[in-house]
Structure 1
């Protein structure tokens, strides 16, 4: 291998920091820059001894003198470092290009895609392969708690990747997963999202259709029966064999489901074959479905049932996916990444089920920051009203960095709160109470007066929410 020097513009994002780590582990020299650098990625990059410059400055690139510049998808024209790269004819590539060229082309890619659930499912498939001795390479959009990392460079022939449908770079507006050459692909669900780049559901379907069509005839497409868009599109576009899954319908289904305070147990069933008494620490019915999808993949790879069961039972999940921060004064705090209305609803229902919250035995409190390109727009407001109705108390915070949006297209927390306060018929049998805030300090003061023993607080944000969970922890 010829050692190269890579310079990553926008290195502090999860995907870019992960590719930086993979390149470093492979033996390349890696350096990068970003406008701001925060934990946990700053900690990971420091541990890897990868130099990071902030903020952006042309001198950083000049001094580094890289062979290849990797441009993050959040970096656009006008960025001073990018302008220098283009003006001086430096070789630049996308993160997805480098991931394919340096890591995927030498291996067989297992790519997990879908609007929701792909991070957890990717991590679970990777962990099953890891514990079964496959020594896979791993690239996932969150910190796997079992390996305390977002990536791993393995010596085995498989690489397990999270297939992101978001755009690739300023010069390549196609989705990242078109670059990943899937040998095995999973499509969990397809819904409208990323409305800043997809004009409608048909545009999303087109992206996923092309991904499905990339899987070779000797590979496998695994698809959920619980999402009509996924199933119909797969049947239309797939050239590979298809294995379906779903709790009640599909090639792999779940039977004898039992919920407890510590785990969910079920039997996985397929065409007369049963894997009995599977236990997972993951919460929510939808994670049974995610687990079935993972099982469909690893059985295709002929992993024995006993190893599958052991891996699922020891799987610790992904940080910021229904992550229980802790309990203080009989109040539980959970940190979660949910930002799409469907993910919000499923997460709230899963938390309610796990903690058995019923009338007068505790309240489910949702604290939400619209931070993604879709959630800070008005397009999903009606869906959010329905989803937040699955909580008891709802705190809405101002949209993150929405200054570029016109007022008429920006998420209106005041309106959503007012509509929530009108709801009466709820799963809990009580009326929702909701408030909207533009500043953290008054929101925290208001929360402090509301909290009482038995409450479960779910903080939902696709970014750091200014460390809100730590501040809540302090006022409990």
Structure 2
């Protein structure tokens, strides 16, 4: 799509404007000067307040084909919209240009250098690290990231900057376009952080999941570069089996580092930096971010000076409360590999402390009994391991019951506690002794409404 209306701002309509990323795109395009409208059947906070503040909140909830007029330059279709959406049908009838979110991002970034970070885990943190360094280095850039970051008011920015930094999601782009989002971004600088099978409702077999990353590699622009985690044997094998002659390859691994009194110091090019983040998975993310920044001609000392002030993305091993004897962390931990890496990171950083690991199973995959074996050994390094899942979440997802026995068999962790009632979990949490410990709260949900952050503050005496 060529935007050639020089004087008049584009008219854009977003179907399902209330999505967590869709509403951020709407605000970014509005700030760029476009005429933006949108619709949705439900809009929750914080999207509702954000749209209202920007003057973009729909006057009425629901779908209305009268919202779709012939003068609209582009319709952007969110994941929440169904195939029989009446506004979508009207747009198709009028022959309007209809885009999924990533397809539209590509149109806006056609003349930019596109940096895309993909992978089963670590992509949000790696993207956040690159954004943080670019900001500290004074480099203008656009971005798309799936988390709230300190120092950034939004998770999407679309301006006239010469580069865009994107988190590359492998989830489907829209109800019309079922291919993964990162297939539409065509990077010049690409990162793959690792591959661990997830989203079994979308990718029913591991081979099918692997195929999506092969396609992503083939989408890299000629003359571009693939930066990949060579410590991931599955990824390394996949890259070596699908080499392209017209792009460059940069493997990365865990950089040299030391842990002293709970602080990690990393060394790159014989230059040290004391970090606020820790764990091998974060060191891998950092090394990937380093090579991205190096490719964009950011010097090592500039990178290290900036990365030393990076405190992490929201709910990515985020310290939410602390005292002299207790640290409480919150982490998304949406996949077995992330659970294992996060637990290991905390245990290595604080080896003398007792580690309480409380995991909520919340995603479609993690609530599926057939997937449970993927968690084998994931919580082995925790001193006290708890798995919680909500029967309410199973009902909402229209999934069959999950028995505690299947969870115990899948995790293979001696002494594992399994709760499927939030009140029972809450009572247990209140009864434990937490002195000289780390508490790791892992969930992409909210523990069925339990006030875990208030609990963390109380533990730390804040």
TM-score by length of 1: 0.84
Instruction: Tell me the distance in 2 between the aligned counterparts of 1:52 and 1:73.
Output: 18
Match for residue 450 of structure 1 among 432, 439, 457:
432
Question: Match of 2:276?
Answer: 281
User: What does 1:261-272 align with in structure 2 at a 5 Å threshold?
Assistant: 263-268=263-268
Structure 1, unaligned runs of 5 or more: 248-253, 269-273, 425-431
Q: Distance in 2 between matches of 1:35 and 1:450?
A: 43
Question: 1:371 offset after TM fit, Å?
Answer: 2.6
- Establish whether residue 373 from structure 1 lines up as the match of residue 364 from structure 2: yes
Q: Residues 133 and 334 from structure 1, CA distance in 2 versus in 1: closer, same or farther, beyond 3 angstroms? A: same
**Residues in 2 aligned to 1:11 and 1:467: alpha-carbon distance in whole angstroms:** 29
Could you tell me which residue of structure 2 aligns to residue 77 of structure 1?
Answer: 83
C-alpha displacement of 1:376: 2.3
Give, in angstroms, the shift of residue 401 of structure 1: 5.0
Q: Which residue number in structure 2 is paired with residue 428 of structure 1? A: none
Task: Show structure 1 runs of 4+ deviating over 6 A.
Answer: 62-65
1:156 aligned onto 2:161: yes
Counterpart of 2:3 in structure 1 is none
Measured in 2, the distance between the counterparts of 1:474 and 1:316 equals 19
- 1:44-55 mapped onto 2 (5 Å cutoff): 44-52=50-58, 55=61
How far did residue 87 of structure 1 move?
A: 6.2
Change (3 A) 1:63 1:215: closer
Q: Secondary structure at the match of 2:148?
A: strand
- Helix, strand or coil at the partner of 2:114: strand
Residue number in structure 2 paired with 1:251: none
Match of 2:354 in 1: 362
Residue 250 of structure 1 corresponds to none
2:251 to 234, 244, 248: 244
| Whole-Å separation in 2 of the counterparts to 1:309 and 1:186 | 19
What residue is the counterpart of 1:306 in the other structure? 301
Count of matched residue pairs = 448
CA RMSD of aligned residues (A): 2.9
1:66-102 superposed Cα distances (whole Å, 9 cap, x missing partner): 5533211232234565456556765532111211112
Counterpart among 176, 181, 193 of residue 171 in structure 1: 176
SS at structure 2 position matched to 1:315? coil
The equivalent of 1:323 in structure 2 is: 318
Question: How high is the TM-score relative to the length of structure 2?
Answer: 0.87
The 3 A distance-change label for structure 1 pair 130 and 349 is same
Alignment of 1:65-464 (within 5 A): 67-79=73-85, 81-82=87-88, 85=91, 91-102=97-108, 104-235=109-240, 236-238=242-244, 239-247=246-254, 254-255=255-256, 257-260=257-260, 263-268=263-268, 274-327=269-322, 331-354=326-349, 356-358=350-352, 361-368=353-360, 370-391=361-382, 392-398=384-390, 400=393, 402-407=395-400, 411-417=402-408, 423-424=413-414, 432-438=415-421, 440-464=422-446
Q: 1:393 to 1:206 in 2, by over 3 A?
A: closer
Q: How far 1:467 moved relative to its partner?
A: 6.2
TM-aligned CA deviation for residue 219 of structure 1:
1.6
Aligned to 1:271: none
Partners of 2:410 and 2:186 lie apart in 1 by 45
The Cα shift of 1:275 comes to 4.3
1:472 paired to 2:455: yes
Deviations 1:7-45 (A, max 9, x none): 323333333233223212221133334444344444443
Structure 2 contact 21–156 (Cα < 8 Å) conserved: no
Shift of 1:246: 0.8
- Alpha-carbon spacing, 1:367–1:210, altered in 2? closer, same or farther (3 Å): closer
Distance 2:387 2:104 in 1: 41
**C-alpha distance 8-464 of structure 1, shift in aligned 2 (>3 A):** farther
The SS at the match of 2:188 is: strand
Unaligned runs of 5+ in 2: 1-5
Q: CA separation in 2, counterparts of 1:226 and 1:321?
A: 21
Distance, in Å, in 1 between the alignment partners of 2:55 and 2:439 is 36
Could you tell me how far 1:60 is from its partner in structure 2?
8.2
Contact 2:79 2:174 in 1 (8 A): yes
Aligned-partner Cα distance in 2 for 1:346–1:277: 24
In 2, Cα distance between the equivalents of 1:329 and 1:37?
Answer: 41
- Counterpart in the other structure of 1:58: 64
CA–CA separation in structure 2 for the residues paired with 1:36 and 1:20 = 16
